[in-house]
Structure 1
Amino acid sequence: MIENFDTLLFDLDGTLTDSTEGIVKCIEYALTKMGYEMPEDTNKFLGPPLYQSFAEFCGMNEEQVNEAVRIFRERYSTVGLFENRVYDGIPEMLDRLKKGGKRIMVATSKPEVYAVRIFEKFGLAQYFEIVGGANINGTRNYKHEVIEYVLAKADITDRSRVLMIGDRKQDADGAHKTGLKCMGILWGFGSIEELTEAGADYIADTPQQVTDLLLGKD
């Protein structure tokens, strides 16, 4: 059991919901419209900020990246964000953690306006004190920037009692860059190898194990 964390920051995509279908379909929509081939490995788009992904994985310049993001959002803002599902065990995990006295917040590189709509649609909004995400204009895009934003909004000064929980190396990197520890989870998009290499401080296999580690077993 891990006893010293009273505030938990959750990633969204690949941690609370499986957003694969919506993201991949919107990536394909944007790339097809711009005349790009769809990369074989679409998993690499799941997690990093879109601006970074289009530049790094498709070789786009800044102008092309901005256009790709604009086209992606044409579809995502109306259809793609709801091509999504809550992972099994997530509502139960959040309910247990909240009843166990934990402050629960979200730190996602997804635009905040979309994250809020997703939580409202899937009935998760009730669990979160703060939902922090990227700005729609592409600023506050990286995980460490979102974490700093959430910590400031929550007026948190003691970072030793805050834990970041996520599925990709960006979550571990962002946590460590802001002085937090990170719990990597294995039901999302990342692998045990990725999370271990990124230096995740703890690893959990299931939502049930997250609550057992943070609250003790029932």
Structure 2
Amino acid sequence: MSSKTPAKSDHYGGAELEIRNKKLILFDLDGTLTDPKEGITRSFQYALKKMGISEDRDNLLKVIGPPLWDSFEQFYAMSREESDRAVQYYREYFSEKGLYENEVIETIPQLLHDLKKNGKILAVATSKPTIYSVKILKYFQLDRYFHLIVGSELDGTRVRKDEIISHVLNVLGYCAQEAVMIGDRKHDIIGARAHGMTSIGVLFGYGSEEELRASGSDFLASSTSQLRQYLLG
């Protein structure tokens, strides 16, 4: 995971107190709640091999976070038809093994417990398919903390983060001004900004400080303890 973390949390474009008053808290999954490095890179490597491409797993950290189709097309110049095939190969491995080659980020369970205890409404908003996201959260016994878990569809629809956030807001009946989006990649921040929603970029995932700042993150948290400070004080 990203080792580039500032000495202390940084924020710009808003007061910390504003976040503590938010009722609905949306979390990304990969790189925010869990570290999926092994499972995702092994699954991606498997898919590339099936497509006739050899790649070292150390070069695949860039694919953690973005939608699968985007990564295959952007980084490996695949056509949509080719990326469709590659996604199917990816899922062959991921659905059987990669799903569980994952680990919970330290202290996240306690943070979720305390947020729920303090009356916060928690939801997961991830580009990972909902069916896999639910399985992962149940496997690690994190599903108990969330009112709603929303991801993409297996057919590649509802894959953009702004669409996923919109679905969460509609189902739970909140407006964007009552919520905050937490994630480690630019897609999380851009999705939040599309709704005028406050965002926190976390630097213990796979996005760099530069990426999160450039995408317009309102706040940065370099650790789960600093994230806790923003959310609970």
TM-score (structure 2 length as normaliser): 0.90
CA distance in 1, matches of 2:149, 2:187: 18
CA distance in 2, matches of 1:138, 1:213: 34
Q: 1:162 maps to which residue?
A: 179
Return the match for 1:23 from 40, 63, 70: 40
1:33 equivalent to 2:50? Answer yes
Q: Pairwise mapping of residues 120-135 of structure 1 onto structure 2 (< 5 A)? A: 120-135=138-153
1:63 equivalent to 2:81? Answer yes
Q: Which moved more, 1:146-155 or 1:32-41?
A: 32-41
Mind listing any 5+ residue stretches in structure 2 that lack a counterpart? 1-15
CA deviations over 1:72-128 (Å, ceiling 9, x no partner): 000101110100000001001101111111110000000000000001100101000
CA distance in 2, matches of 1:15, 1:213: 15
CA distance in 2, matches of 1:199, 1:182: 9
CA deviations over 1:119-158 (Å, ceiling 9, x no partner): 11001010000000000111001111111111111122x3
SS in 2 for 1:95: helix
Q: What is the CA distance between 1:41 and its match in structure 2? A: 2.8
Mind listing any 5+ residue stretches in structure 1 that lack a counterpart? none
1:84 equivalent to 2:102? Answer yes
SS in 2 for 1:109: strand
Q: 1:199 maps to which residue?
A: 216
CA deviations over 1:37-71 (Å, ceiling 9, x no partner): 32663121011000111011110001100000000
SS in 2 for 1:123: coil
CA distance in 2, matches of 1:166, 1:202: 11
Greater RCO (CA < 8 Å, at least 6 residues apart): 2
Return the match for 1:72 from 90, 93, 103: 90
Return the match for 1:14 from 26, 31, 35: 31
Q: 2:155 maps to which residue?
A: 137
CA distance in 2, matches of 1:206, 1:127: 20
Question: How many matched pairs?
Answer: 215
RMSD: 1.1
SS in 2 for 1:171: helix
CA distance in 2, matches of 1:147, 1:213: 21
SS in 2 for 1:173: helix
CA deviations over 1:140-186 (Å, ceiling 9, x no partner): 01111111111111122x31110000001111001001221110011
TM-score (structure 1 length as normaliser): 0.96
Q: Which moved more, 1:39-48 or 1:99-108?
A: 39-48
CA deviations over 1:9-38 (Å, ceiling 9, x no partner): 000000000001000001110100110132
CA distance in 2, matches of 1:137, 1:87: 29
CA distance in 1, matches of 2:225, 2:151: 25
SS in 1 for 2:30: coil
CA distance in 1, matches of 2:59, 2:216: 24
Percentage of pairs with the same residue? 44
Report the AA paired with residue 32 of structure 1. Answer: K
Q: 2:7 maps to which residue?
A: none
1:210 equivalent to 2:227? Answer yes
CA distance in 2, matches of 1:109, 1:8: 17
CA distance in 2, matches of 1:211, 1:84: 23
